[in-house]
Amino acid sequence: MNKRYLVTLLVAVIATLFVVAGIYAGTEVKDEIIMENCAYAKHTKSIQTFTHLKHSKEYAEKNPDLYKAGCGECHHDKDNKPLTNLKEGDDVQNCIECHKKPGYMTGKEAKGLSKEQKREYHANAIHDNCKSCHKKFNKSKKLKSKDEGAAPTTCKKCHPKEEK
């Protein structure tokens, strides 16, 4: 009886170690993230590929003033405060988890909505996040949006028309 109890206990301890290791292992961060989301029945513009590695490493090293919050420059909490304590491999939520409404609110539909209300829409939240950083980059380098080396801030720069 004691031997059986000891074996069961040993198996339980080993299983627990595997579960705990899995929890603390974090997530593999892809170098490139295809910004396609199944929350959309149909995408109306071409899908952008986000170069996570370039942004988090290369651009951050070249432009430390623009990346003071580290991962928190893009990743934030429910109050839109930067998650400054993130490290590569930490689990993060997908944007759609908080910005639950698929689509983009613009023009007459968006009139009268606050910035926070617009950010409830997934595409608005992503565009605000990317464009604000890109505009800061361009301003810091004294670049206009059409200049060589400027970060994209217009629809067509990120979403070129797809060839038919």
The answer to pTM > 0.85 is no
Per-residue model confidence (pLDDT) at position 99: 94
How many domains would you assign to the chain?
A: 1
Which among 104, 71, 66 is positioned nearest to 86, based on CA atoms? 71
CATH of the domain at 119: 3.90.10
Q: Which domain holds residue 125?
A: 29-158
**What span, in angstroms and rounded, lies between the C-alpha atoms of 79 and 15?**
37
Asked if the structure places residue 5 within a domain, the reply is: no
With 60 as the cut, is the pLDDT of residue 47 above it? yes
What is residue 13's predicted lDDT score, i.e. its pLDDT?
73
How confident is the model over 55-96, as pLDDT tens digits? 989 999 999 998 899 999 999 998 889 999 988 888 888 899
Residue 129 pLDDT class (50, 70, 90 cuts): very high
- CB burial of residue 48 (10 Å; 0-12, 13-18, 19+): middle
